[in-house]
Structure 1
Amino acid sequence: MTATVLVVDDHPVVRDGVTLLLRTDPALTIAGAAESGHAAIERVAELRPDLVLLDLRLPDMLAPEVVAGLRAAHPGVRVVVFTAHGDHQGVVAALEAGAHGGLLKDVAGTDLVAALRRVLRGERVIDPRIMPDAGQRSDALARSGLTRREYEVLRLAAQGRTNPEIANVTGLTRNTVKTYLQSALHKLGARNRVEAIGKASEAGLL
């Protein structure tokens, strides 16, 4: 079964290059391309691709906003951010907003195709040069029993975000954010968010 991919980048050379790379795999079909965040959200709603390969730096919107917009427009879409910069914080923010992977643009063509296939299978793929401790963090996360969403909400809380701000970044409702936080507190054996953040830090989660 072929999967459809939307390529979002403001540089035509990158869009064309990625399109050529992905064409080497018969299981991947290019659904289209977009050059800005707003255009990407419109095209995702219209084309409903399986995956979006999203440039981290677009001229009109920040990557986390684009990720949230894409997932609101087409909740089933998988989003992989693509950056030339190894911009750690930018990638982390995009992942916290719901992206499923982060890759560097110097990735070889075969590696790019393999990474996208893994994301389409439901894995989260992050280039180790972007987040070298991602593997250790995944192990700590598995031990904690926190779901990916509970962890995401807790990480944003640890950055000092309020519940309404977390709801805005993740595209969740405020009530859902509150539910995830309460569940995270319960699993960590914490009485409040400050204690939960402390325990999560000790466990190597933050």
Structure 2
Amino acid sequence: MADGSTGRTVRVLVVDDHPVVCDGVSTLIRRAEDVSVVGSARTAREGVDLAGALRPDVVLLDLRLPDLPGAQTVPLLRAAAPDARVVLFTAFEDRNALSAALAAGAHGCLLKDVTDTDLVAQLRLAAAGRRVLDPRLNGSAPAQLQARLFGLSLSRREYDVIRSAATGRTNPEIAEELGLTRNTVKTYLQTAMHKLGARNRVEAIRRAQQEQLL
């Protein structure tokens, strides 16, 4: 479906140390019959335990938790509930923490001031396997971004591959998203790593973040 609906109830787990956030999410999606909050957790470790027990479709994860940072929590959540989509849910535009969590395998990021319609639509898209990212979190303005790419000799396609890799997508997933072959994605990734002076994709993502490309 065009709206990303999965045709069944999207089960959401909220991991946030502020109880009002879970209540707020429940309130925002109360009118959607196909999306519901099935649980909430105050800490990363509690969230991992609940994710394993509840097997939600989407985990809304606060970028800042008292026990573990987002970059460490994301892999634990994905291991506990491999089919769940982990979406960062934050009020802070902390690019370092955000990039680290995306590089660790998060499937996107939303800001906490989303409206009810936006949140429901994004949760549906996430559950359907789509990348979700609040447009306000995108990189620099087009002209500035183009200037940075030119300075690094990066092509737009190489940048697109690195940006997708930063969301935790595998090469086959990037190929599907960008309409490329797997070998072409591999080639773009290798050339991008070379131009960024990186030995692997994690270093490439970090270097791209340092260059304010992500």
Q: Which of 22, 40, 46 is the matching residue for 2:53?
A: 46
Q: What SS is found at the alignment partner of 1:129?
A: helix
Residue 88 (structure 1) shift: 2.0
Residue 23 (structure 1) shift: 2.2
Residue 143 (structure 1) shift: 3.0
Cα separation, 2, equivalents of 1:32 and 1:151: 29
Gaps in structure 2 of 5+ consecutive residues: 1-7, 147-153, 171-183, 199-203
Q: Which of 61, 83, 92 is the matching residue for 1:76?
A: 83
Inter-CA distance 145–6: structure 2 relative to 1 (3 Å threshold): same
1:167 corresponding residue in structure 2: none
Question: Is 1:143 paired with 2:150?
Answer: no
8 Å contact kept, 1:4–1:50: yes
Task: Count how many residue pairs are aligned between Structure 1 and Structure 2.
Answer: 175
Q: What SS is found at the alignment partner of 1:82?
A: strand
For CA contacts below 8 A with separation 6 or more, give which structure has more relative contact order. Answer: 2
2:196 corresponding residue in structure 1: 197
Gaps in structure 1 of 5+ consecutive residues: 154-169, 173-182
- Equivalent positions of 1:80-91 (< 5 A) are 80-91=87-98
Cα separation, 2, equivalents of 1:14 and 1:110: 17
8 Å contact kept, 2:74–2:104: yes
Cα separation, 2, equivalents of 1:98 and 1:141: 24
Identity over aligned pairs, percent: 45
1:176 corresponding residue in structure 2: none
Q: Which of 103, 108, 122 is the matching residue for 1:115?
A: 122
Cα separation, 1, equivalents of 2:67 and 2:73: 10
Superposed CA RMSD in Å reads 3.7
Aligned amino acid, residue 197 of structure 1: L
Structure 1 stretch displaced more, 86-95 or 1-10 = 86-95
- Equivalent positions of 1:182-193 (< 5 A) are 186-187=187-188, 190=191
For residues 85-114 of structure 1, give each alpha carbon's deviation from its aligned partner in whole angstroms, at most 9, with x where no partner exists: 122222221111111111111111211111
Q: What SS is found at the alignment partner of 1:107?
A: coil
8 Å contact kept, 2:102–2:108: yes
8 Å contact kept, 2:59–2:87: yes
Q: Which of 126, 133, 153 is the matching residue for 1:126?
A: 133
